[in-house]
Chain A
Amino acid sequence: MIGDEYLRYAKRGRGLDHDWFSYQPPAMRPRLRWPASTQVALWITVPLEVFPLSGSNAPFRPTGALDRPYPDFWGYAARDYGLRVGIFRLLKALDRYGICATAAVNAEVARRAPDLIKSLLMRDWEIMGSGINMATLHHGGLDKADEAQQISQALDVLRPMCGDIVGWHSPGHSQSAHTMELLAGQGIRYVADWVNDDLPYDFHTANGDVVAMPLSYELADRTVLLEHDRTIDEYTAMVTAAARRFQLEASNEARILSISVSPWIIGYPHRIAAFEQLLEDLVMDGRVWIARGRDIFQSYQSQMSKSDSVAEA
């Protein structure tokens, strides 16, 4: 039998059950406008990841991580394909449509492939911090000091190569209760882990506010194409449906079509043509404001009348 304490509800009351941010449906917030003629931003995030062969998937397996017994050479190699081949195919596609994306970079990738990072920076891409590798997770079981170390270790690799880093995406959208505070303490200004909104919002921490930015999980290629086993045509139909919906809603307020596409998933020869067609349809006739995470963050900050918006890199 369960104890009576299971029927006590300590946080039951007005608002959410934490103090990190308040409940605000988009329609109840000040209206945001993008600095563009269209009010749908297209924000593409490209994760650049290393899935260590020796990774344990503890305390949980992030979506897309290795799932065969050690040593999973097959799984490792399939993901490494993205850094060797897929990324260049994806770059060609994005270049063709003039799209500057945001790369969410594991520090281990930057260490292994500094030239790749350089070529992204030359294209004016944004580099967002994304932990050390895909087996070094941020989660509730971590000691706070160890997690702070984990974050600074990642940023210490990226910052000398990339200059200022203002954005962050934790591997597997996973955080501890301290991650946001620690990131704010290390100069991170926006974080794309929480998937509860279509727009940016303020997230309060002991080290000041950070901005939570939307990065869709339901429309990530790894969710749709891998986890849910859909075809590329079904995937592009879903993104197109989201774009169509946002175009409708954007007559009232700004929206962000935020999708993450992985070089080791979308970068295969059998998928890339459909993805190129999707890009062509999305950017046609200037329907979207092509933006990097920091562009959206900056526009949000300036509209929220924050004095400390980021200087353009």
Chain B
Amino acid sequence: MLREPSRYPHVPYPSRPRLVWPNGARIAVWVVPNIEFYELDPPTGPVRPAWLRPTPDVLGYSLRDYGNRAGIWRIFEALDRHGIRASVSLNAAVCEHLPEIVQACLDRDWELFAHGIYNTRWIYGMSPNQVREVIKDSVETIRAFSGKPVRGWLSPAVSSTEDFFDLLPEFGIDYTIDMVHDDQPTPICVKSGRLISIPYSSETNDIRVMGMRGYSPADWAKMLKAAFDRLHEEGEESGTVFCIPLHPYIVGQPHRIAALEDVLGHIKSRDGVWFATGSEIADCYYETFYAAAMSTAGSVRS
């Protein structure tokens, strides 16, 4: 087993080249709804069963199904109202099962990036060729639906293998959000091609904070606003990234959606904010900062 990921060098925050986002913005904000399909009766996963209860886990399945039936439509409305385009972490099979939802994302010119096939199929214990098959299937299924390249990746249930990141560039993936090691994009070391990490968040993720720990919607909103405020302040020195990770079945509940609106309204009232999609952040980073970051960093893998 690996003792450490060895995917990025240790480059302390103060010793980096300064990042400035387009039009002098100090903070890039991106909104990431995870649009997922959980199977009722998936094969038992490589590390644990997909569901806590015997099949059918009616509570677990139906709670997640709420996101696709009701929750996502509240998120569409909230983002429409604030004029914000999201970047969707999309289980590819949603394109086949529930095309209405994927079409509604395309109608809004949202970005679609890959999040595996189903959220009940995890990338553990796979050979490189099996991993390739999953990445290819995810990317091609979404591209066939949208007609646009698929450039980002988040693994279903953040599952992985040791060589997983080396395989992403083979399929045109430019950025991953599977690691949460930084408040700025960073290069990810891969055997061939190029890859960067864009900040996502496990700490402010609605599923962790409200779904698992049960924080009130008001406290979640307070956390997000505090995080945004600090990153906005620090962005004056060097540009930061603030991500709002969402799950329709969590934040799309009637008692929680107002908390999201509260956060969006707060961010909208500030100057120096660049609302971007994952690909827009990646493009800006590759064009302007990637080469310098690579030369500062050298290579972590010798």
Does B213 sit within 8 A of A, measured CB to CB?
Answer: yes
Cross-chain contact B97 with A9 (CB below 8 angstroms)? no
In the complex, which of the residues B58, B117, B216 contacts A174, with contact meaning CB atoms closer than 8 Å? B58
Question: Known: A2-B125, A6-B46. Contact between A177 and B97, CB under 8 A?
Answer: no
Most buried by B among A6, A7, A228, A246: A6
Among the 9-residue stretches A157-165, A195-203, A290-298, the one with 4 or more Cβ atoms under 8 Å from chain B is A195-203
Residues of B within 8 A of A177 (CB): 55-56
Cross-chain contact A24 with B69 (CB below 8 angstroms)? yes
Question: What is the CA–CA distance of A7 and B255 in the complex, to the nearest angstrom?
Answer: 37
Near B by CB (< 8 A), chain A positions 195-234 give 195-198, 217-219, 223-224, 227-230, 234
Residues of A within 8 A of B99 (CB): 14
Cross-chain contact B98 with A23 (CB below 8 angstroms)? yes
How many residue pairs link A and B with beta carbons under 8 A? The number is: 150
Question: What is the CA–CA distance of A43 and B300 in the complex, to the nearest angstrom?
Answer: 60
Does A13 sit within 8 A of B, measured CB to CB?
Answer: yes
Does A114 sit within 8 A of B, measured CB to CB?
Answer: no
Majority SS at the chain A contact face: loop
Cross-chain contact B70 with A172 (CB below 8 angstroms)? no
Cross-chain contact A2 with B253 (CB below 8 angstroms)? no
Question: Known: A241-B256, A245-B258. Contact between A197 and B63, CB under 8 A?
Answer: no
Residues of A within 8 A of B96 (CB): 12-14
Cross-chain contact B43 with A195 (CB below 8 angstroms)? no
Cross-chain contact B40 with A245 (CB below 8 angstroms)? no
Residues of B within 8 A of A244 (CB): 258
Among the 9-residue stretches B23-31, B126-134, B150-158, the one with 4 or more Cβ atoms under 8 Å from chain A is B126-134
Does B5 sit within 8 A of A, measured CB to CB?
Answer: no
Question: Known: A228-B213, A234-B216. Contact between A140 and B63, CB under 8 A?
Answer: no
Cross-chain contact A140 with B56 (CB below 8 angstroms)? yes
Cross-chain contact B127 with A172 (CB below 8 angstroms)? no
Does B171 sit within 8 A of A, measured CB to CB?
Answer: no
Q: How far is the CB of B210 from chain A (nearest CB, A)?
A: 9
Question: What is the CA–CA distance of A5 and B43 in the complex, to the nearest angstrom?
Answer: 9
Question: Known: A9-B117, A173-B59. Contact between A230 and B214, CB under 8 A?
Answer: yes
- Identify the closest chain B residue to A198 (Cβ): B70
Question: Known: A13-B97, A17-B40, A25-B100. Contact between A60 and B53, CB under 8 A?
Answer: yes
Q: How far is the CB of A18 from chain B (nearest CB, A)?
A: 5
Cross-chain contact A217 with B68 (CB below 8 angstroms)? no
Write the B61-73 contact mask toward A (1 if CB under 8 angstroms, else 0): 1111110111001
Does A35 sit within 8 A of B, measured CB to CB?
Answer: no
Near A by CB (< 8 A), chain B positions 172-200 give none
- Identify the closest chain A residue to B44 (Cβ): A6
Residues of A within 8 A of B53 (CB): 59-60, 139-140, 174
Does B247 sit within 8 A of A, measured CB to CB?
Answer: no
Q: How far is the CB of B30 from chain A (nearest CB, A)?
A: 25
Known: A5-B43, A193-B62, A234-B218. 12 other contacts (CB 8 A): A1-B126, A7-B133, A16-B40, A16-B65, A23-B69, A194-B62, A195-B62, A196-B65, A197-B66, A217-B63, A218-B253, A224-B214
**Which residues of B does A touch, CB under 8 Å?**
37, 39-41, 43, 46, 52-56, 58-59, 61-66, 68-70, 73, 93, 96-100, 117-118, 121, 124-127, 130, 133-134, 137, 213-218, 253-259
26 contacts between A and B (CB under 8 A): A2-B125, A5-B43, A6-B43, A14-B99, A17-B41, A17-B97, A23-B69, A25-B68, A26-B70, A60-B52, A139-B53, A175-B56, A175-B58, A194-B62, A195-B59, A197-B69, A218-B255, A228-B215, A229-B214, A237-B218, A238-B216, A239-B255, A241-B254, A241-B258, A245-B258, A246-B254
In the complex, the 8 A-B pairs of residues with the closest C-beta atoms, listed nearest first = A228-B214, A140-B54, A196-B65, A242-B255, A196-B62, A242-B254, A245-B254, A194-B62
